[in-house]
A and B are shown apart, each in its own frame.
Chain A
């Protein structure tokens, strides 16, 4: 909030810059079109979906939600709960791993630092499709395949999260503050927890968000790991709805309604986290 006020140009805010505003709104429109389409399509009953004009709203939203909830005793809501569990727990733990690693890489100078960083970062180069089968076979050896842990453990390490955490720690944690803490006799762990962690928090919120979305949207890993539909996350559940075999075609209306409901929690999360972003604590820390 304060950062906003500090910005120059506040003196003449009356005149709206038309061109940039128009460009921004156009961009927003482009991004909204398919979302608007799901919104409209999810109100259509099965027989309206392909027969009425694309953006003409239908009459069946509540029916569709009721159908979806009734589908196999409400298994959809179980998938939703599973997704929240996987994404929530996974993102928190992944955030912690990233924070620790990023902090270490940012504030300590030690032999092998860049090598460790490079190797961890190279993890993003490995396409998930390639890792998934070996991961399955190895987890099966440990008797974990098919369990909830099997979709949680492999996503805890996020090379991208470590990269961001290092950037944030470099920018937000001034070394003289750490020095001062150490001079006061604080141990390394305490210095991290009480001094550095609060300073890194806004950045960690971003990492949390990215990881939450990444796990929420992950399809391949649960697809390979899980066979019990009670443990499916949303994406996999919707895929089974879409792929029903030759004699019962895709349940399009259920899939579309399910997709809409699957996006809502993420939008809610964004709106919630927006508040942290606008705090701009990160920026403030850099400036001070």
Chain B
């Protein structure tokens, strides 16, 4: 036992010494071009090549990553170890977690003049309501309602404009075509649920002085949970997860005829339901009160500069170019199929044509821009990942048993609050 401890100690001493020398002697100090590493999952190689050609002094290398919550943890671990990239692609809801772990640099000094190029709701998410700027918005995902216009016509359905009509439509589908569902409730997609809650007016995390206010189990979200739970309980909609082979098949074959999704849906449908090109149409999300124009966000990401980066200036310059330059954004739209966060680009040249999968809706992006204008602000906190993983488990169980959705919501609230409290946050409910 003793001998082990001594060996372990001496080993760690050696490793620490190595680390000290490593920290001192990091590469290029002054001369030569700056090399930036960028962890991202979006396809953007050609756009980055464009930059590299025009900027021989600042060379950016993209290291492609798998998307998902584990990338956030990986980034945090790498930053702790001093091995982080210069730039990282991060979803909006991950920003507080990354900031809280001291991974991101405040680039407000470098990007002061770009604020007005983005919608206030998006900008607020990258500043976390402070004076700092932790990232630049890259793409956004305003939510919309997608449906099979051919089957809606065949079954004599009208496009629902309110959630009440949506429920009615779901029931009608079951009557008219018993093997068919309007859509499904997926317990695997917390992002979708969060977006729907935003539409209903939920603000899950807010701050008051030094205190985090957690309102996941609030009236607005409860309304959303009860609504979807009711539909699942009466079998008006399905309870299976999305993004599975079975789901692909269901939307491809017309067993599910609608999808509550976001502006990027055409890309997903192209691969998931290839036989249905031209059969889909997009409409605004159904509203809680008739005549409103509110929607939430599902997905979307930002470009952030890390504190580790020795070239924060250059990194911020690249991030600004990537997310505001018309040519760069056009490239991202073309190559990565993103919906740009920069307001000007949403009605720009690159989005003049509808998505190839929606030739029947020539004004797709014009409508999308109108819908996007009504995006409700999102309010994220430092432990969104806890909320999301509890959502998976609690709502998964509730959906499987067609059981109590509000109880699942309460479980979500509880685990988020407990997690915050256990780390010493001040919390109020």
Chain A residues packing against B (C-beta within 8 Å): 46-47, 49-51, 72, 133, 136-138, 140-143, 145-146, 224, 227-229, 239-240, 242-252
Residues of B within 8 A of A146 (CB): 83
Query: Given that A51-B275, A137-B80, A227-B63 are known contacts, is A246 also in contact with B74, CB under 8 Å in the complex?
Result: no
* B81 lies within 8 A of A247 (CB): no
Smallest CB gap from A243: residue in B: B66
Residues of B within 8 A of A137 (CB): 77, 80-81
* A247 lies within 8 A of B141 (CB): yes
* A141 lies within 8 A of B81 (CB): yes
Partner of B15, one of A136, A141, A242, A252: A141
- 11 additional A-B residue pairs with CB within 8 Å, beyond A141-B16, A245-B68, A249-B248: A51-B252, A138-B12, A140-B19, A141-B19, A143-B19, A146-B83, A227-B85, A246-B262, A247-B264, A247-B299, A247-B337
Query: Given that A50-B248, A142-B15 are known contacts, is A72 also in contact with B45, CB under 8 Å in the complex?
Result: yes
Residues of B within 8 A of A228 (CB): 63
The proximity string for B residues 320-348 relative to A, scoring 1 for CB distances below 8 Å and 0 otherwise, is 00000000000000001110000000000
The proximity string for B residues 1-45 relative to A, scoring 1 for CB distances below 8 Å and 0 otherwise, is 000000000001001101100100000000000000001011101
- Whether, in the assembled complex, B249 has its beta carbon less than 8 Å from a beta carbon of chain A, the answer is yes
* B67 lies within 8 A of A145 (CB): no
* B267 lies within 8 A of A247 (CB): yes
Q: How far is the CB of B5 from chain A (nearest CB, A)?
A: 14
* A248 lies within 8 A of B271 (CB): yes
- Whether, in the assembled complex, B420 has its beta carbon less than 8 Å from a beta carbon of chain A, the answer is no
Residues of B within 8 A of A138 (CB): 12, 15
Residues of B within 8 A of A227 (CB): 39, 63, 65, 74, 78, 83, 85
- Whether, in the assembled complex, B155 has its beta carbon less than 8 Å from a beta carbon of chain A, the answer is no
Smallest CB gap from A144: residue in B: B18
Q: How far is the CB of B338 from chain A (nearest CB, A)?
A: 7
* B83 lies within 8 A of A50 (CB): no
**A239–B70 alpha-carbon span in the complex (Å):** 12
- Whether, in the assembled complex, B425 has its beta carbon less than 8 Å from a beta carbon of chain A, the answer is no
Query: Given that A227-B74, A248-B268 are known contacts, is A141 also in contact with B18, CB under 8 Å in the complex?
Result: yes
Interface centre among A137, A227, A239, A247 (most CB of B within 10 A): A247
* A247 lies within 8 A of B268 (CB): yes
* B191 lies within 8 A of A246 (CB): yes
Query: Given that A143-B18, A229-B64, A240-B66 are known contacts, is A245 also in contact with B41, CB under 8 Å in the complex?
Result: yes
Q: Can you list 19 A-B contacts with CB-CB less than 8 angstroms, sorted by A residue number?
A: A51-B249, A138-B15, A140-B81, A140-B82, A141-B12, A141-B19, A145-B81, A146-B83, A227-B63, A240-B66, A242-B66, A245-B41, A245-B299, A246-B262, A246-B268, A246-B298, A247-B337, A248-B271, A251-B271
**A271–B141 alpha-carbon span in the complex (Å):** 51
Q: How far is the CB of B392 from chain A (nearest CB, A)?
A: 15
Q: How far is the CB of A135 from chain B (nearest CB, A)?
A: 11
Chain B interface size, as a band, is 35 or more
* B15 lies within 8 A of A250 (CB): no
**A-B interface pairs (CB < 8 A), number:** 107
**A50–B243 alpha-carbon span in the complex (Å):** 13
Smallest CB gap from A119: residue in B: B4
Q: How far is the CB of B118 from chain A (nearest CB, A)?
A: 19
Residues of B within 8 A of A249 (CB): 243, 248, 268, 271-272
Q: How far is the CB of B331 from chain A (nearest CB, A)?
A: 16
Smallest CB gap from B4: residue in A: A119
* A145 lies within 8 A of B83 (CB): yes
Residues of A within 8 A of B74 (CB): 224, 227
Smallest CB gap from A251: residue in B: B271
Partner of B337, one of A49, A50, A224, A248: A248
The proximity string for B residues 242-272 relative to A, scoring 1 for CB distances below 8 Å and 0 otherwise, is 0101001100110000000010100110011
* B267 lies within 8 A of A50 (CB): no
Q: How far is the CB of A128 from chain B (nearest CB, A)?
A: 15
**A246–B248 alpha-carbon span in the complex (Å):** 14
Partner of A245, one of B12, B19, B42, B249: B42
**A240–B62 alpha-carbon span in the complex (Å):** 14
Partner of A133, one of B77, B271, B299: B77
Q: How far is the CB of A71 from chain B (nearest CB, A)?
A: 10
Residues of A within 8 A of B81 (CB): 136-137, 140-141, 145
Q: How far is the CB of B129 from chain A (nearest CB, A)?
A: 25
Q: How far is the CB of A166 from chain B (nearest CB, A)?
A: 22
Query: Given that A50-B252, A140-B81, A248-B337 are known contacts, is A240 also in contact with B65, CB under 8 Å in the complex?
Result: yes
**A46–B249 alpha-carbon span in the complex (Å):** 12
- Whether, in the assembled complex, B120 has its beta carbon less than 8 Å from a beta carbon of chain A, the answer is no
Smallest CB gap from A253: residue in B: B271
- Whether, in the assembled complex, B274 has its beta carbon less than 8 Å from a beta carbon of chain A, the answer is yes
**A250–B244 alpha-carbon span in the complex (Å):** 9
Query: Given that A137-B81, A227-B74 are known contacts, is A240 also in contact with B19, CB under 8 Å in the complex?
Result: no
Smallest CB gap from A227: residue in B: B63
* A46 lies within 8 A of B67 (CB): no
Residues of A within 8 A of B267 (CB): 247-248
Residues of B within 8 A of A141 (CB): 12, 15-16, 18-19, 81
Q: How far is the CB of B37 from chain A (nearest CB, A)?
A: 8
**A138–B141 alpha-carbon span in the complex (Å):** 39
Q: How far is the CB of A232 from chain B (nearest CB, A)?
A: 9
* A246 lies within 8 A of B67 (CB): yes
Q: How far is the CB of A191 from chain B (nearest CB, A)?
A: 29
**A229–B65 alpha-carbon span in the complex (Å):** 7
* A245 lies within 8 A of B64 (CB): no
Smallest CB gap from B16: residue in A: A141
Q: How far is the CB of A203 from chain B (nearest CB, A)?
A: 30
Residues of A within 8 A of B80 (CB): 137
* A143 lies within 8 A of B22 (CB): yes
Residues of A within 8 A of B43 (CB): 248
